[in-house]
Every structure is written in C-alpha cells, then in structure tokens.
C-alpha cells in the first residue's frame, strides 16, 4: 500500500480562504486521478457549539467532495484547554495523537486545513510547521490581498517554513489591482524563491453572507418568508435618513441587507422597492401589516433583532468575508476561480 502524501493549507491570518482553497483545489486534483482525503488537525472556533461546528464542517467537505476519508480535529483551542496547558496540568503529547489520527488514512493525497495562523497551536507543539514535520507534509500558503504589503507576511512566512513551502496563492484581489499583482508582486515573490501558484480576483459572491447566517449571528426572529433565508447578502445599508434621500441611496446597493428602525415604515417600504435581500428591524417595534404583506409578495425576509442599530450593523459587517463556505453558489464560484487562476500543474510538479 502506497503511503499517502500530505498537503497542509495554511495562512498567516484567519479568514484567508483556506476552506475555499480546499473546495476549489480538490476537483482539479480529482480530475487528474488522485484519491483525496481531508483532515483538520486543530479546531479554533470557540463556543459551546464548536465541536458540533467542526463535525459539520468535516462532514460537509467529505460529502461535497466525495472523499474517501476525513478526520476531525485532534485538538480544540478553547479557553479551558489553553488554560490547562499554560498551568502545566495538560502534558498531553499531541504530536503523538496527531500521528496516530492520520496514520493509515485512505487516499493518495490528504488535504489538511490549517488553523487561523501558522503559529496557532504552537503551545501544544502543533504549529503549521510542526504539523508538517510530524506528517512530512508540504505547505501551500494562502493570503487575502489587502495591499502590496502582503509580500511582507508571505516572505516572512516563507523564511519560517523553509523547504516545506511549495507555493502561495493570493486571493480577494480587487479588479483594479490584478495587473499590478501579476506584473509587480508575482515577480518579486518569485525572485525570493516563493512560487506563486494562484492570483485570484475578488468576488462579491464569496464575500457575501446568507440571510440564514445573519439570523444565526444576530439571534434574530424571522417575521416573514422563512423559506427565503438562502438569499445572499452582498452589502449593508443603514436606513436613517428622510425617505427621499433614502430611495436614491437604496438604489445604489444590490442584494443588500437594510438595517432600520421598526418604526420607520417609510424607509422599510423604500427598501423593499429596491434590490434588498432582507430587512433587519431594530428598536423592539413590530412592522406595520402592510410592510409584512409587501415583503411576503416580494419574497424578502424581515428579521427582528433585540439590538440597537449600531450593534446590529457591527455584527453584519463582521460577517462579510468571514463565514464558512457552504452555500452551493459559493462552492461553485470558488471552484470556477481556482480552475481559471490556479496553476495546478505547477503544484503537482
């Protein structure tokens, strides 16, 4: 039996696109005849439902990619576990557990999803580099483009990862910056000995969030059209002006969420007449029956939240670009982007 090879997808900051990269990379590898498996050595989502979320993530990826095998995290980076390690009451050899968990996994290539950063898990001897050493894995580094200074974090990471690094992929590049990344950043990184395997343009679809996810994060009550919670929200608009100004303002956004007071019937009507994916009402006031009726007709969910406008806006704003990729439209989008903008042959070589 041929021993599986391992490829760890890592990043220098959270929400850089590791899961998306795996979802986009897998079909390209499967098309070339490779049997794939998946593993997530470290779970970093905190909270009571963290373990359930990990299991859901692993099950989703295994099912979506039709994988032969998938393994759940060997370590939870929750507050209790971290405190025990710092106090010295947890002396577990997590590298041994890691090796045992991933020994004999079925597949030609195992795609490992790294933690939020390359250094998370180092307290437990499970940093990205340490995981790679234990499993003899190669590392593909993904980064989200913020500015040309992305080269700083990538070159620093490359120095730390050494010959474990097989290449980097930069995503979420604004269309007006694509040419510069190809003509300036890519040659610079290549000169530093860092193979650039992918330069992926930004996508409003990938940065969007479903109404269902907003309901979960806002702990909102759904007042109508619970059957339309899979609508995607691409932008956020605050309704807090006079109705004449609001209508023009609302027309500028597409597939948007509008946050406004439950008593602002005029703004709610104006929002419903434009490209709105959901209304988020604050202020503990129920909307007028005519608003509910109009939203039902237009198939726009209305959410009621026990929050003030500022708090609601902050939660929605954080959700963009930092939610799990599980909606079919997002999976299809990242797979198309990877097929067009990622050099799979160079990776395999």
Strands 235-239 and 276-282: unpaired
The pLDDT of residue 50: 47
Predicted confidence band of residue 140 (pLDDT cuts 50, 70, 90): very high
For residue 176, CA distances in Å to 144, 180, 181, 205 come to 15, 8, 10, 18
The pLDDT of residue 52: 52
For the cut 80, the answer to whether the pLDDT of residue 170 exceeds it is yes
The tokens describing 255, both together, are 């597939």
The pLDDT of residue 129: 96
Q: CA–CA separation, 303 vs 221, rounded Å? A: 6
Predicted confidence band of residue 73 (pLDDT cuts 50, 70, 90): confident
The tokens describing 109, both together, are 């290539």
Most distant CA atoms of the chain, gap in Å:
71
Strands 302-304 and 221-224: antiparallel
pLDDT above 70 covers a percentage of the chain that reads 93
For the cut 80, the answer to whether the pLDDT of residue 250 exceeds it is no
For the cut 70, the answer to whether the pLDDT of residue 36 exceeds it is yes
Predicted confidence band of residue 248 (pLDDT cuts 50, 70, 90): low
H helix or E strand, kind and range, residue 229: none
The pLDDT of residue 247: 64
Neighbours of 342 (CB within 10 A): 22
Is residue 255 within 8 Å of residue 262, measured between CB atoms?
A: no
The pLDDT of residue 243: 59
The pLDDT of residue 273: 87
CA-closest candidate to residue 301, choices 221, 237, 235, 228: 228
Burial class (CB in 10 A: 0-12, 13-18, 19+), 104: exposed
**How confident is the model over 275-302, as pLDDT tens digits?**
899 999 998 788 999 999 999 999 999 9
The pLDDT of residue 69: 84
Is residue 234 within 8 Å of residue 278, measured between CB atoms?
A: no
The pLDDT of residue 96: 96
H helix or E strand, kind and range, residue 268: helix 265-272
The tokens describing 196, both together, are 């650039």
pTM listed for this prediction = 0.85
Distant-in-sequence, close-in-space partners of 121: CB < 8 Å, separation ≥ 6:
41, 42, 75, 77, 115, 127, 128, 130, 131
- Side-chain half-sphere CA neighbours of 119 within 13 A: 6
Distance between terminal CA atoms of the chain? 22
Is residue 253 within 8 Å of residue 274, measured between CB atoms?
A: yes
Predicted confidence band of residue 45 (pLDDT cuts 50, 70, 90): low
**How confident is the model over 311-338, as pLDDT tens digits?**
998 999 888 867 677 788 889 999 999 9
pLDDT above 90 covers a percentage of the chain that reads 65
For the cut 50, the answer to whether the pLDDT of residue 1 exceeds it is no
**Lowest-pLDDT range, 8-22, 106-120, 180-194, 227-241?**
227-241
For the cut 90, the answer to whether the pLDDT of residue 245 exceeds it is no
For the cut 50, the answer to whether the pLDDT of residue 49 exceeds it is no
The tokens describing 189, both together, are 């990184």
H helix or E strand, kind and range, residue 25: helix 18-30
278: helix, strand or coil: strand
Average pLDDT value for the chain: 89
């Amino acid at each position: 039996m041929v021993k599986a090879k391992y490829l760890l997808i890592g990043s220098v900051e959270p929400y850089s696109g590791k899961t998306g990269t795996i979802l986009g990379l897998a079909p390209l590898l499967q098309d070339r005849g490779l049997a794939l498996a998946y593993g997530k050595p470290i779970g970093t989502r905190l909270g009571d439902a963290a373990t359930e979320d990990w299991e859901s993530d692993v099950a989703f990826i295994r099912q979506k990619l039709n994988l032969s095998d998938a393994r759940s995290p060997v370590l939870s980076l929750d507050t209790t576990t971290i405190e025990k390690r710092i106090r010295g009451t947890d002396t577990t050899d997590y590298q041994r557990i890691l090796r045992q968990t991933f020994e004999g996994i079925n597949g030609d290539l195992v795609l490992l999803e790294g933690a939020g950063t390359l250094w998370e898990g180092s307290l437990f001897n499970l940093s990205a580099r340490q995981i790679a050493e234990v499993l003899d894995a190669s590392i593909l580094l993904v980064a989200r483009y913020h500015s040309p200074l992305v080269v700083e974090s990538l070159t620093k990471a490359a120095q730390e990862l050494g010959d474990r690094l097989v290449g980097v992929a930069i995503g979420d590049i604004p269309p007006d910056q694509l040419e510069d990344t190809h003509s300036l950043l890519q040659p610079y990184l290549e000169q530093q000995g860092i193979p650039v395997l992918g330069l992926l343009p930004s996508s409003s679809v990938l940065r969007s969030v479903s109404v269902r996810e907003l309901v979960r994060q806002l702990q909102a009550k759904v007042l109508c059209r619970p059957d339309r919670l899979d609508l995607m929200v691409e932008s956020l608009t605050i309704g807090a002006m006079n109705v004449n100004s609001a209508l023009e303002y609302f027309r500028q956004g597409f597939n948007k969420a509008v946050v406004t007071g439950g008593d602002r019937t005029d703004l709610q009507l104006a929002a419903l007449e434009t490209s709105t994916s959901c209304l988020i009402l604050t202020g503990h006031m129920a909307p007028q029956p005519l608003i509910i009726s109009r939203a039902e007709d237009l198939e726009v969910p209305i959410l009621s939240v026990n929050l003030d406008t500022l708090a609601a806006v902050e939660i929605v704003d954080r959700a963009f670009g930092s939610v799990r990729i599980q909606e079919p439209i997002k999976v299809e989008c990242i797979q198309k982007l990877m097929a067009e903008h990622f050099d799979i042959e160079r990776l395999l070589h």
